[in-house]
Chains A and B, each alone.
Chain A
Amino acid sequence: MTQIELRGIEKFFGAVQVIHNLNLAIADNEFIVLLGQSGCGKTTTLRAIAGLETIDQGDILIDGKAVQHLRAADRDIAMVFQSFSLYPHMTVFENIAFPLRATRMSSGEVDKSVREIARVLRITDLLDKKPSALSGGDMQRVAIGRALVRRPKAMLMDEPIGALDAKLREEMRAEIKRLHIKQGSTTIYVTHDQIEAMSLADRIVIMHEGFIQQVGTPDEVYSHPANLFVAQFVGSPVMNVAEASVADEAGAASVTLGGAPKGFEFPRALLSKLNGHATNGGLTLGIRPEGVLVRHDAAPGYMPVEAQIIEPLGSFDIVDLKVGSKMLRARTKAGYVSGPGEKVHARLDPEQAHFFDTASGKSLGVRL
């Protein structure tokens, strides 16, 4: 049972504030991912929880107890580093046993615990090797083993699979998930890779320039991004974003992008939901490529557009469509659009459209 709560955390590096009034409550057994670009403060937050970095303001509570003045050693938290940080002069066994040796556990028990965790991680045959003889994935397993072996209150992971190659990353992602389900411990995981975040997290915390942008389940942050930053940071390929103007046209709303001569047709309800924001200007539309529907023949609501660039990605294509001065990326079946210059028809799926205030970037919360 471990809950972690961050209350009003502020952190400065010299004159630069890297964390701004950060508040977050993490439930027992929850897998939280801190997601953001480098320099957004996610690693600093993690290191502050671990006790490797002091904070200038606020409280870090573990099970209701403020720990910000405790040394790292006294917080009963384990951490996996991006570089794995396996002690090169020790064998795998000694690496995993290292945290237990600090607790003055009997050597018989140490041996038992290490072998148990090695069995779970399937690294029993590596116990006598030195870290330099291990592959990246095995180093990673050993690092996780060292973190898990003393059953810490919480597990912190700082881009633990960032240094691995793509295939291994995918494997280890699944393995981390499997371990979390099996061992069950409150986990805070830092990454800049949104796919990792989406696939692992119970909840994702998206950070930007020291501020939390949004906290939510992977589905929430994907389907209901709180602002333009989240909208564009989460999801691949990236969401289309364009300044839009909305007009009332023959009983329907018409959304014009990039100064195109004609607008996309939207249900009339959009006008009332935007509540005047449309006419004042400063409206930004966001739509993921899968929300841009493409067909060859004309149909009601579809607008003729020209395909510019086609990126085949195997299972699907990303097609750039020219709409006014803007490029709109659409996701189509592989090979659906034959080549650049082809004329097709496109429509925006109103249910997948997001509307943001251009100035603040905040979502207007309009759902159709």
Chain B
Amino acid sequence: MAAVRTSSEVAFNRIAIAAVLIATLIFLAPIYWIASTAFKPKELAVSVPPTVLFEPEVTPFVRLFTKRVQMQKTVDPQAYEAAPWWEKRIYDGGERVLKVGKDVQLSQYPDRFMNSLIVAVISTVLAVGMGTFTAYGFSRFKIAGEADLLFFILSTRMLPPVVVAIPMFLMYRAVGLNDSHIGLIILYVAFNLSFSVWLMKGFMDEIPKEYEEAALVDGYTRMQAFFKIVLPEAATGIAATAVFCFITAWNEYAFALIMTNRRAQTAPPFIPSQIGSGLPDWTTIAAGTFLFLLPVAIFTFLLRNHLLRGVTFGAIRK
């Protein structure tokens, strides 16, 4: 559809496009900074003025994944020659990789990253799954006090979560849930559930009841109709809800910081803890942050079609 536009509308359009471009640049700048720092030689990370053009290297990632110590004396040339390429990079920086026998000691980053993945994926699956069933119930059945119940579910989001952090910490410690995956998962499901119920309720309401009724008449039980008809129809909504829940759980910092310290610690509290004392190793931190950004970016990219439809879903009356 190409409607007629006046010259002032065309001008306005150009200004709007320019504004959007500028905003996009502003939003992308930190991401560019993180990505570029992750590949910078250490000494260029803090150079003033900032270095824009440089030869990218993966040394920050090698440092990210290995346990290292500062070397007191220079490296033995024979050992240097025998070392694989990545170990040479560490030697070049005046450090050596810690080993037990021949095995390279990995840093804590892979574990923390894995913790993030476990907690975010499981809590997202649970929150979206429970939210979908709950929303279906609210959408399709007459429930006494439906409006009150829905409001109650929403009200759990009205309190800033960090307000309850200390009581939660004490409770968790009392029942032994602190520093455990399951503890964080329960917490994140609790955060996300109200959001998931409300979002999915909107999507469920959009799915015509006739589809299920047709399935009921076609010889299916309500449960079968739910799985065969409602779920595929709700895929868009489920994808959109999942992305939002995943992002919340993946990025959560405050509770992860308070509730975990070792075994179940996720990446968000871990990465800043590596700044440490003395001169921070910004390139290694940037490498960790850069890798941390990837799952959300990939997840969102994969679901982008669903997401776009999900965001505008229900905006147009059929």
Q: Which residues of A are in contact with B by a Cβ distance under 8 Å?
A: 50-52, 71-73, 77-79, 81, 83, 85, 87-89, 98-99, 102-103, 146, 150, 156
Contact = CB atoms under 8 A, between A and B. Distances in A.
B213 A81 contact: yes
Interface stretch (B118-126, B167-175, B215-223): B215-223
A206 B242 CA distance: 51
Contact of B217 (A50, A83, A87, A88): A50
Interface of B: 208, 210-211, 213-221, 224, 229, 232-233, 235
A73 B222 CA distance: 9
A156 to B, nearest CB: 8
B217 A79 contact: yes
A51 B232 contact: no
Contacts of A156: 217
A303 to B, nearest CB: 54
Contact of A87 (B211, B224, B235): B211
B216 A73 contact: yes
A104 to B, nearest CB: 10
B108 to A, nearest CB: 45
Contacts of B229: 87
Contact of A98 (B208, B218, B221): B218
A83 B218 contact: no
Contact of A73 (B208, B210, B220, B233): B220
Contacts of B217: 50-52, 72-73, 77-79, 156
A146 B218 contact: yes
Nearest to A75: B217
Contact of A79 (B211, B214, B232): B214
Contacts of A79: 213-214, 217
A89 B233 contact: yes
Main SS at interface, chain B: helix
Contacts of A87: 211, 214-215, 229, 232-233
Nearest to A50: B217
B210 A81 contact: yes
Contacts of A150: 219
Given A81-B210, A81-B214, A83-B210, A103 B233 contact: no
Contacts of B218: 73, 78, 98-99, 102, 146
B211 A52 contact: no
Q: Which of B208, B213, B214 has the most CB of A within 10 A?
A: B214
Contacts of A77: 217
A51 B213 CA distance: 9
B219 A103 contact: yes
Which of A72, A81, A98, A102 has the most chain B CB within a 10 Å cutoff? A72
Contacts of B221: 71, 73
B216 A72 contact: yes
A98 B220 CA distance: 9
B313 to A, nearest CB: 14
Given A81-B210, A83-B208, A83-B210, A89 B216 contact: no
Contact of B213 (A71, A85, A102): A85
Contact of A89 (B208, B214, B232): B232
Nearest to B216: A72
A52 B219 contact: no
7 contacts: A51-B216, A52-B213, A72-B213, A73-B221, A78-B217, A79-B217, A102-B218
A146 B218 CA distance: 8
A77 B214 CA distance: 11
Q: 9 closest Cβ contacts across the A-B interface?
A: A102-B219, A99-B218, A85-B210, A85-B214, A72-B216, A89-B232, A79-B217, A73-B219, A81-B210
Nearest to A150: B219
B72 to A, nearest CB: 66
A313 B145 CA distance: 55
Given A51-B216, A98-B215, 15 more contacts: A52-B216, A73-B216, A73-B218, A77-B217, A79-B214, A83-B210, A85-B213, A87-B233, A98-B218, A102-B218, A102-B224, A103-B219, A146-B218, A150-B219, A156-B217
